[in-house]
Amino acid sequence: MTVLFLLFVIPLTVLLFLEIKEVNRRIDFTQKERMGAEVNRSLIRLMEHLLHHRGMMVAYLTGEASFKTDIENEHSRIATEIEAIELLSKRYGPSLKIEERWEDFKKEWQKLEFTENTLTIEESSGTHTKIIDNTIELISYIGETSNLILDPHITTYYLMDSITIHLPKLIDSLGQSRVLGVMAAISHKITPENKRRLTVLTGSIKYSMVEAEVRVKKAILRDPGIIVPLEGAINELDAKVNSFIGIIDNKIIDAPEIKVNEGAYYMDATEALNSAFKLYDAVYPSLDDLLQARISWYQTEKVFFIAIPLSIFAIFLYLFTAFARNTVSLGIARDNLRYQVEFEKLVASISTRFVNTSNGNSVSVMSDALQKIGEFVHVDTCYVSLFSSDGLKIDTLYEWCSEGIEPQKDVYTQLPVDKLPWATRKLKNFESLNIASLEDLPPEAGAEKAIWQATGVNSMLIISLGYHGTAIGFLGFNSIRIERKWTEQEISLLRIVGEFFVSIFEREKAEAALERLSVTDHLTQIFNRLKFENVLETEIQRARRHSRTFSLIMFDVDHFKKINDSFGHEAGDNVLRKLARIVSVHIRTIDVFARWGGEEFVILVLETHVEDAKSFAEKLRRDIESTSFYSGSLTCSFGVTEYCKTDDASTIIKRADEALYEAKSNGRNLVCVQ
């Protein structure tokens, strides 16, 4: 009996020791997450003061001497935050591996402190921006070294993602917008490059705000207990940031003249920044409380495992008879835990690559991700398919097949959704399809069964992909060689992969929209001056290389000021919109039509000599004259010129402008050539 007792107790004791060791590992893992969150919170506080310091220095260097005292106060606040982070670096530095990066940061700041009064506005703003970028990079780095980006629980993962990735980007974009706007308000003008940067920044602000809010709201749905501290902060962020974006659009980017008061603009920008910091301050305690609760649970679990040996000795006979069963159960649990940890590492690596991927590289990211996921979960094919914009067709964008398996991408290429009515209905209701055998399909899935049997599928898992409450496609996994069924654990983890894929799609759409916005005139929706100047330079170089020609037409509205004075600026805007539509109808696809400024427009007529360009301008003049506008009849004056071999952009534009002036001087509603 003693031998049997030892044979029973020793292996079980070893297993309990391993379980306690695993619990200790999870406690250490989560404690490290709390360390990272604590250091990042102090870095955000430091970033807040760096942003204020940058804004004040820009104002001070432009002659606002009243900011001197405020700048000195910010120096003191920054020094206080640096001292606090210094203590955290000494305490957590070896665990988080941040000592070297932190020392580099302090050197950069000390160098700026020493030279700040000798720098130009551009140099000061650029140096500040570099230091702030390094702060954001350090926050992201700590997210990796502290295990935050590896967090295995969905609620805390969403909170972590909002304060480690999206809120810092939002704060940085707001800070840069504040500096550019203040510079424009002080000088009452803005360069085309700064206007383009400000346009891109407003798009980045909207994208980062939406992504941060979506993640916090998803965390609230998973754990409604955190709604009280977070809901008000989300609403305030939404209101303040949208108000600030409206000021940028209406008073700087789209304003014919910049008349915004720099002090009022600075305060509006600061309120938007403060609302982002308030959301961060609301999310951090919720995240920390959830991490601490998890540690408490692990510690309870640890006590439980310690208490088991005592119970073993008290009820030896019972444990002896149940030994085999418990051993198997513990082995399965350990295997499941190991599987989850390995899967989470894989998901984290995909997430990290996604975060660091630039626009245009999504194909390689998606292909690599599908291969890694497919090989890990041991399937024969996996793929990503999207619904068309009208929701009537399915198109497979990406597919991976294991060795020896024929691609099935053609099955879902431009496939009408009515070919898969049962599956489409389920997926658009965000239901996953876990099909262990096609024979298990319900009678109403007859159409699906026929298509899937034709491709040789035995089992499949299909996960719906959604964005902002709308199903946009699905992530599919097919087993062709054998039948299998996916566990809830696997499905839950694969849903996170699906969310990463959705983020790739939406980020590409957002960046494409930003690019369109930067080259489009807000009022008329045709190209803006910046885009036209770039195209003109390109066409001049092409004409020189290939001995080609083109003509330039410049025209404006006659007596446009009278329209504004008589009917109001809104009527004037309507006139410009309608005029742009009239001209656009006649523009060839190879030509370029843009708003030059105010009521002035330009047309680049490619492969066209001046005589034909004059005829084209004359046709436009007659069409405009014969069209009825809200303000009554309308006429335009045109200047036309042709490219010469000695021309650069300034000379050909000047010649077209002189021709336009000649048309104005000779009575308007004319076409003149130079």
Q: With respect to CATH, is domain 362-506 assigned 3.30.450.40?
A: yes
Whether 327 shows a pLDDT value over 60: the answer reads no
User: How much is the average pLDDT of 310-331?
Assistant: 58
Whether 340 shows a pLDDT value over 90: the answer reads no
- How many CB atoms sit inside 10 A of residue 104's CB? 11
Bridge partners for 520 per DSSP: 527
Q: Which of 53-62, 325-334, 380-389, 614-623 has the highest mean pLDDT?
A: 614-623
- DSSP H helical ranges for 377-487: 421-428, 446-454
- Strand-strand pairing, 592-597 and 600-606: antiparallel
Q: Answer whether 383's CB lies under 8 Å from 476's CB.
A: yes
User: How much is the average pLDDT of 601-628?
Assistant: 96
Work out the burial of residue 65: count CB atoms within 10 Å of its CB; fewer than 13 is exposed, 13-18 middle, 19 or more buried: exposed
Q: What is the pLDDT of residues 82-109, one digit of tens each?
A: 999 999 988 888 888 888 889 999 899 9
CA atoms within 13 A on the CB side of 510: 19
The CATH label, of 3.30.70, 1.20.120, 1.10.260, 2.40.50, for the domain at 152-285 is 1.20.120
Residue 599 known to be catalytic:
yes
Query: Residue 451's closest CA among 498, 481, 416, 487?
Result: 416
Q: With respect to CATH, is domain 529-673 assigned 1.10.357.10?
A: no
Instruction: Say what the pLDDT of residue 312 is.
Output: 66
Per-residue exposure over 158-175, b if at least 16 CB sit within 10 Å of its own CB, e if not? bbbbbbbbbbbbbbbbbb
Query: Residue 157's closest CA among 224, 218, 213?
Result: 218
Instruction: Say what the pLDDT of residue 523 is.
Output: 94
Least confident of 5-19, 113-127, 424-438, 607-621: 5-19
Compute the distance between CA of residue 246 and CA of residue 244 in angstroms, rounded to an integer: 5
Q: Answer whether 475's CB lies under 8 Å from 504's CB.
A: no
Least confident of 234-243, 317-326, 435-444: 317-326
The per-residue pLDDT of the chain, averaged, comes to: 86
Bridge partners for 629 per DSSP: 632
pTM here? 0.47
pLDDT band at 251 (very low <50, low <70, confident <90, very high): very high
DSSP 445: G
Structure tokens at 635: 């006429």
- DSSP H helical ranges for 356-395: 362-376
Q: Side chain identity at 129, as an amino acid letter?
A: T
Stretch (H or E) spanning 435: strand 433-435
User: What are the angstrom distances between the C-alpha of 142 and each of 287, 411, 420?
Assistant: 16, 44, 46
User: How much is the average pLDDT of 247-272?
Assistant: 91
Q: What is the pLDDT of residues 144-170, one digit of tens each?
A: 888 887 777 888 888 888 889 999 999
Enumerate helices (H) and strands (E) in the chain, giving the number of each. 19, 11
Compute the distance between CA of residue 381 and CA of residue 118 in angstroms, rounded to an integer: 62
Query: How would you write 53-95 as a 3-class SS string?
Result: HHHHHHHHHCCCHHHHHHHHHHHHHHHHHHHHHHHHHHHHHHH
Instruction: Say whether 399 sits in a helix, a strand or coil.
Output: strand
Higher pLDDT, 320 or 348: 348
Instruction: Say whether 413 sits in a helix, a strand or coil.
Output: coil
Stretch (H or E) spanning 515: helix 488-518
Instruction: Say what the pLDDT of residue 149 is.
Output: 75
Q: What φ, ψ does residue 441 adopt, rounded to 5°?
A: -65, 145
Q: What is the pLDDT of residues 567-602, one digit of tens each?
A: 989 999 999 999 999 999 999 999 999 999 999 999
Instruction: Say what the pLDDT of residue 354 is.
Output: 63
Got the DSSP string for 153-201? SHHHHHHHHIIIIIHHHHHHHHHHHHHHHHHHHHHT---HHHHHHHHHH
Instruction: Say what the pLDDT of residue 122 is.
Output: 85
DSSP 259: -
- Alpha-carbon torsion angle 44, 49, 55, 57, nearest 10: -140
Q: Side chain identity at 254, as an amino acid letter?
A: D
Instruction: Say what the pLDDT of residue 511 is.
Output: 72
Q: Answer whether 178's CB lies under 8 Å from 266's CB.
A: yes
Higher pLDDT, 344 or 433: 433
Structure tokens at 72: 């000195």
Higher pLDDT, 365 or 541: 541
Least confident of 22-26, 39-43, 408-412, 661-665: 408-412
Per-residue exposure over 448-486, b if at least 16 CB sit within 10 Å of its own CB, e if not? bbeebeeeebbbbbbbbbbeeeebbbbbbbbbbeeebeb
pLDDT band at 316 (very low <50, low <70, confident <90, very high): low
User: How much is the average pLDDT of 626-647?
Assistant: 92
Angle between helices 167-187 and 121-145 (to 10 degrees): 170
Residue 387 C-alpha from the chain's centroid: 21
pLDDT band at 333 (very low <50, low <70, confident <90, very high): low
Structure tokens at 501: 């894929």
Q: What percent of the chain has pLDDT over 90?
A: 41
pLDDT band at 183 (very low <50, low <70, confident <90, very high): confident
- How many CB atoms sit inside 10 A of residue 225's CB? 11
Whether 507 shows a pLDDT value over 90: the answer reads no
Q: Answer whether 254's CB lies under 8 Å from 523's CB.
A: yes
Q: What is the Rg, in whole angstroms, of the alpha carbon atoms belonging to the chain?
A: 32
Q: Answer whether 605's CB lies under 8 Å from 591's CB.
A: yes
Q: What φ, ψ does residue 672 adopt, rounded to 5°?
A: -120, 150
Query: Residue 487's closest CA among 466, 465, 464, 461?
Result: 461
Q: Which residues contact 669 (CB under 8 A, 6 or more apart)?
A: 558, 621, 625, 635, 636, 637
Q: 22, 33, 116, 599: which is the annotated catalytic residue? A: 599
Whether 243 shows a pLDDT value over 90: the answer reads yes
Q: What is the pLDDT of residues 389-426, one digit of tens each?
A: 888 898 887 889 988 888 877 777 788 989 899 999 99
Angle at 66 between CA 63 and CA 67, to 5 degrees: 85
Compute the distance between CA of residue 554 and CA of residue 213 in angstroms, rounded to an integer: 46
Whether 280 shows a pLDDT value over 90: the answer reads yes
Q: Answer whether 108's CB lies under 8 Å from 130's CB.
A: yes
